[in-house]
Amino acid sequence: PQDLKFDGERTFVEIGDNTVIREFVTVNRGTAESTRTVIGRNCLIMTYSHVAHDCVVGDHVIISNASQVAGHAHIEDRAILGGLVAVHQFVKIGTHAFVGGATKVTQDVPPFLKVVGNPAKLYGLNTVGLTRSNFDPDVIRELKRAYRLFFRSDLILSRAMERAREELKPYPEVEHFLSFLSNSERGLAV
């Protein structure tokens, strides 16, 4: 791995079935003894991309051309990174998130949302992706309400969480969204 702490330990890379890795992609193994970098099943890692040491990439993830994912990043299932995306170390990108091309991601990207730019800014719910994935329209509507509550109101995070628990239907997707926000360690792209 490209990590100065590496000292020849036995480490691994795990790549799931049906994942396609195109030309000139680099994937680094884990750093510390018995650690691993994991790329899930049915992913597409396009030309000139890089997945650094100790990353976890979920299933059905698309990493487009020349995107760079730094060490210890975690990309949940079905997220899509556009071309030339730079993901900072330890960042987490949520399931079904869409990261637009040439975006610099230094903070966590909540699940089901779109983010683009430098600095990265949220641009609403990934409704196109969710519709293509056959999400129930009621779930999409509730996720949209959650997005507005947290990112388009004047509420602080703790108050928005209280209101979300009171007002939103507890669909599994909504619960995952709320859990992701609660457990963010790097802060959230806004």
Residue 71 annotated to the active site: yes
Distance CA(185)–CA(73), nearest Å, equals 12
Residue 96 annotated to the active site: no
Task: State the pLDDT at residue 143.
Answer: 98
Q: Give tens-digit pLDDT for 134-184.
A: 999 999 999 999 999 999 999 999 999 999 999 999 999 999 999 999 999
Task: Identify any residues that bridge with 20 across adjacent strands, giving them in sequence order.
Answer: 44
Distance CA(52)–CA(125), nearest Å, equals 28
| Catalytic entry in 54, 88, 108, 176 | 54
Distance CA(189)–CA(4), nearest Å, equals 29
Residue 54 annotated to the active site: yes
Q: Give tens-digit pLDDT for 85-138.
A: 999 999 999 999 999 999 999 999 999 999 999 999 999 999 999 999 999 999
For the residues 1-10, what does the mean pLDDT come to?
95
In contact, 83 and 99? CB cutoff 8 Å: no
| Catalytic entry in 50, 53, 72, 96 | 53
pTM higher than 0.95 for the full model?
A: yes
Task: State the pLDDT at residue 4.
Answer: 94
Distance CA(170)–CA(18), nearest Å, equals 33
| Catalytic entry in 30, 40, 71, 129 | 71
The β-bridge relationship of strands 113-116 and 121-125 is antiparallel
Residues in the chain: 190
H/E element holding 51?
Answer: strand 50-51
H/E element holding 36?
Answer: strand 36-39
Task: State the pLDDT at residue 79.
Answer: 98
